[in-house]
Amino acid sequence: MPLVKDIFIGLSKNQLLNRAAKNYGLKLGAQNVVAGTTIEETIQSIKKLNAEGISCTVDNLGEFVFEREEATKAKEQILLMIEAIHTENVDAHISLKPTQLGLDIDYNFCLDNLKEVVKKANEYDIFINMDMEDHMHLQPSFDLLDDLSETYENVGTVIQAYFYRAVEDIEKYKNYRLRIVKGAYKETEQYAYQTKEEIDANFIKLIEWHLLNGKFTSIATHDHHVINHVKQFAKENQIPNDQFEFQMLYGFRKELQLKLAQEGYNFTTYVPFGDDWYGYFMRRLAERPQNLNLVVKQTFTKKNNILIGLTAGAFLLGRLTKNKN
């Protein structure tokens, strides 16, 4: 699996495939993994999910921005989505990445952008979840959270189970609404667990600890074994359903998403929108290559095989290159 993960991480950074995905995205069935390319399309997707008893967290796709103009444009797009969530009265909140709002440009510039977003969301009682990225951006992102929390309470973040420091971080931020994930970036053994067994064990450990000691817990996984474990753990420890939720990605395990909502569990679908979806999708496959099996039938048909052909070709090329070296 490490080789497969490395390849998908490499694919996520492949600009040729990224451009092809933007050009052909909707023709290739990208609507099965992205809720829309526009705010209007995305709001309609959210309404459909809401009608099934499912909440949404909305992500304006794009990250690792190095130009102020691009960061400002992303901020404006997020502000428009916040307005749309309020105006359309849908059950949704915002997820965002600090690098999209300028963390790689200037810390204070990014903080100002975040403050504007969080302030607007706070006016409408909308929660902002600050996604965590790779190790290089980890501590600066926590610093941003600390600065924002001095004024606003409608902000939380993500704890990534593959980091050694995750236990320390979850204890420090136990009074925040936290999303707990395994982690999707390529990290070295200096900072993160490397094996599936170690990551899975820490994932369960963090979930249980925060359910018992923390505020609201978002458990982000497609693994039904983890989900069943959490359901049993909550029952045995008399943890009420309003203290946690399950989260999955838009387009993944749709039947299970609906089943959990119908069983009375809080459920939130992670809803990405925009045309910059390719890198996001590849990292989801890197995080858990089995995800490919969950979407391949519903995403790729005989009529839209261009992207899967490109991806398969790049996959094989990457593997051959790796083996040669």
> Which residues are marked as active site?
131, 179
In order of 72, 73, 197, 225, the CA distances from 110 in angstroms are 9, 13, 36, 38
DSSP 8-state class, residue 163: B
Return all residues near 40 (Cβ < 8 A) that are at least 6 apart: 84
Q: CA 176 to CA 170: how far, in whole Å?
A: 9
Residue pair 59/179 in contact (Cβ under 8 Å)? The answer is: no
* Spatial contact of 260 and 85, defined as CB atoms under 8 Å apart: no
Among 31, 15, 26, CA closest to 306: 26
The CA distance from 22 to 27, in Å, is: 10
Question: Does residue 222 contact residue 253 with C-beta atoms inside 8 Å?
Answer: yes
